[in-house]
Chain A
Amino acid sequence: MLSFRRIVRIAFSGVRYRLFRATITVAVIAIAMAFLMNILGESLIKKSVAEAARSRIEELHRTDTWIARLSVPRTPEEIIFDQAGRAPVAKTCLDFFSRLDYGRRRILSGSAESVQIFDLLQDAEKQESFFAALANMKAIRFPVGREEFVSFLASWPELKQQIRGVREKEQAAINRIEQARGERSILEALTRADGEFGQAIRDAGFELDDREAETLAAQARDIMDSQLIEDTINHTELRQAVAARKDLLPGDITVNIIWKMLRDADSSEWYLEQMAAAGLEVSGLDAGRVRHLAERRARARLLVKAELRTADTGGGLMGIGQRMTWLALVSMLVCVVGIANAMLMSVTERFREIATLKCLGALNTFIMTVFLIESSILGLAGGIAGTLIGLVICVVRMFFVFQSLLAHAFPWGSLGLGALISITAGILLAAVAAVYPSLRAARLAPMEAMRIE
């Protein structure tokens, strides 16, 4: 049989000979693939940014987590979730109850919530009615078998006792912390987390390594100083000064305006002077520090914005969302129809050529292969062009949305994979669309070559 190179050459010559229509076909594929790549790329970038933002936000809120830990003991639910390995049934059941809608929970457990339900079900009669009600809810499947659940309920009082013990210990530790911080607020105390207060935390039985202590202290200081600066908004003189500098009405001055202004070196120095003049305590601050705080806040705001913008990621095909999946599928369908039409035209226009080739001894499979390859060449060209276009559009757009955050969380790997997928999709679509036209070409009778137009 014919060498593959020759088949490709014949197919390629076919493309070159009808360059204009081939270009239009390529454009159709390119548009569809640009669309696909665009939504795919945006969702991949959003996903990557969302992950980066989430971990950074967690980092930013570390102080809050510590404050909570150092001021109240964990709830029984939190303890169960933190130590799920020790009571897996309890965790599964809590999960189940928390996902129930209000009406169903009401029927199953009355007014009781979370761990109270376990207390409630200690009563045999209540247990009976609980399972009866559960059996009535056809749409819901209780994640734990009945026997397992009953045996867990039997062991619940003991578990509850353990939890209470843990909580008491935590309360005792918190009491010691409270002694250690004395009159200070807990945030103020945390600014010394790298010093004596850190030692107090460790003494109380919490785990705190040196690096964590350092970041904690720095963060606490940042928060304290930021609060100091944000409080100046309530200071009438300062407000008026800013209003004069910014050429605004004093009533229009917001925290955001002040922070934005402070990112500029001159302004931050000026503002510090103003603050000192107004009799505020600014001993710990200098212009560089104020700028650092302003930058920190800008970053935090960007993170929050990123979190909001990425809230809709996930779901549908490869996380592009249900709606977008449909749109992509429809665009691909339109593309397939377009290519099929173009290929049918190509076959009709070339029927004499095809018939002649068959007279010269071409097999049906050869004719089919030529047309499939011709279409695949168009698909490859369109796929590459479309992918590039879509990629550029989505990267530029996403850069304007996420700015510096994108540079840190640019998903090279998954975008490359997405591009590969979209190019492959282009080739596949073109090949699929060419199946019927190439079948028609292959079935063409060789005697058509004798026909005279």
Chain B
Amino acid sequence: MKEEQTVQTSAGERRIIIRTIGMKKFYNRKGQITQALRGVDIAIFDAEFITVMGPSGSGKSTFFNLIGALDSPTHGRVFIDEVDVAQLTAEELAFLRCRKIGYIFQSYNLIPYMTALENVTTPMAFGGVQTDEARKRGMDLLELVGLKERWFHRPIEMSGGQQQRVAIARALANNPTVLLCDEPTANLDHHTGDEILAILQRLNKERGVTIICATHDHRMMNVCDRLLWIRDGAIERIARRDEVKVELGGID
């Protein structure tokens, strides 16, 4: 209850982009029921940068899948941009994933046989953008992440940091309102990770994209608005960055 109030006060009049109500997820594997999430209530605002932290097995991935419309909860509800995900048909879900959400993966997940530009324009093709326009917009996005000159390279010809930047460009293809990042810096060295973080932060500030980032990376705390700790399938703590900084300093 106390946490709810914190959210309310920090929110002001900002629009809520993702809201979950009593979200639970159980997995039934060979008769054994695993409670991955045991009731999560959270509201995420437009243009917010949220970092989700938690040890492995905490339900962090499940939380991600549910708010990213990749999976449906066993109980409770998930609203993305005021739409109840459970009510959507398969086509509408695909449309939602295509238009509203951008996904960034730990292992980049670029399509190996496509060039950087093709990777970026593929979601546009799914969204029905004309080829010429898709090309133009794809080049703009690649320029945004600083890879305009390498548009014809295939993933195998690029470094991890470059691949992740292409992945970011791809996630932005259809101007999504939410960017879901699953450990975007985990496979990268320190310096490249910083670059990626800088890009994410810029997107958040300049374009007002809501960014939800699952990470173990403590540098992420410096750039985010709020931090979310998940443990044992429930929210352990939500805090604004300025609240945490003090604590972090204490630890350091």
Contacts and interface: CB of A to CB of B under 8 A. Distances in A.
Interface of A: 1-3, 6, 13-14, 16-17, 352-353, 356-364, 366, 445-447, 449-450, 452-453
Interface string B117-147: 0000011011110010000000000000000
A13 B113 contact: yes
Contact of A356 (B71, B94, B109, B131): B109
Given A363-B94, A364-B90, A445 B113 contact: no
Contacts of B68: 359, 447
A17 B154 CA distance: 12
Contact of A361 (B61, B64, B97, B111): B97
A387 B232 CA distance: 61
Contacts of B77: none
Given A358-B94, A363-B91, A450-B65, A2 B70 contact: no
B70 A361 contact: no
B194 to A, nearest CB: 22
B113 A361 contact: no
Given A13-B114, A450-B182, A361 B109 contact: no
A360 B122 contact: yes
Interface in B47-102: 61, 64-65, 68, 70-71, 90-91, 94-95, 97-99
Contacts of A446: 70, 97
Nearest to B128: A1
Q: Which secondary structure characterizes the binding site on chain A?
A: helix
B201 interface: no
A408 B105 CA distance: 68
B114 A452 contact: no
Contacts, number: 75
B170 interface: yes
A357 B127 CA distance: 12
B61 A450 contact: yes
B216 to A, nearest CB: 13
A17 B112 contact: yes
> How large, as a class, is the contact surface on chain B?
20 to 34
A450 B111 contact: no
A166 to B, nearest CB: 81
The 6 closest A-B pairs by CB, nearest first: A361-B98, A361-B126, A447-B70, A17-B113, A360-B123, A13-B113
Contacts of A360: 97-98, 103, 122-123, 126, 170, 173
B126 A362 contact: yes
B105 A450 contact: yes
9 contacts: A1-B128, A356-B109, A360-B97, A360-B98, A361-B95, A364-B90, A447-B70, A449-B109, A450-B64
Given A17-B112, A447-B65, A363 B70 contact: no
A359 to B, nearest CB: 5
A358 B125 CA distance: 13
B107 interface: yes
B111 A356 contact: yes
Nearest to B170: A360
B71 to A, nearest CB: 5
Contacts of B111: 353, 356-357
B175 interface: no
Contacts of B106: 452
Contact of B126 (A2, A353, A364, A450): A2
Interface in B219-250: none
Contacts of A6: 125
Contacts of A16: 113
A184 to B, nearest CB: 87
Nearest to B100: A361
B71, B107, B170 pick with most chain A CB within 10 angstroms: B107
B60 to A, nearest CB: 11
Given A360-B122, A361-B127, A452 B94 contact: no
Contacts of B123: 360-361
A359 B113 contact: no
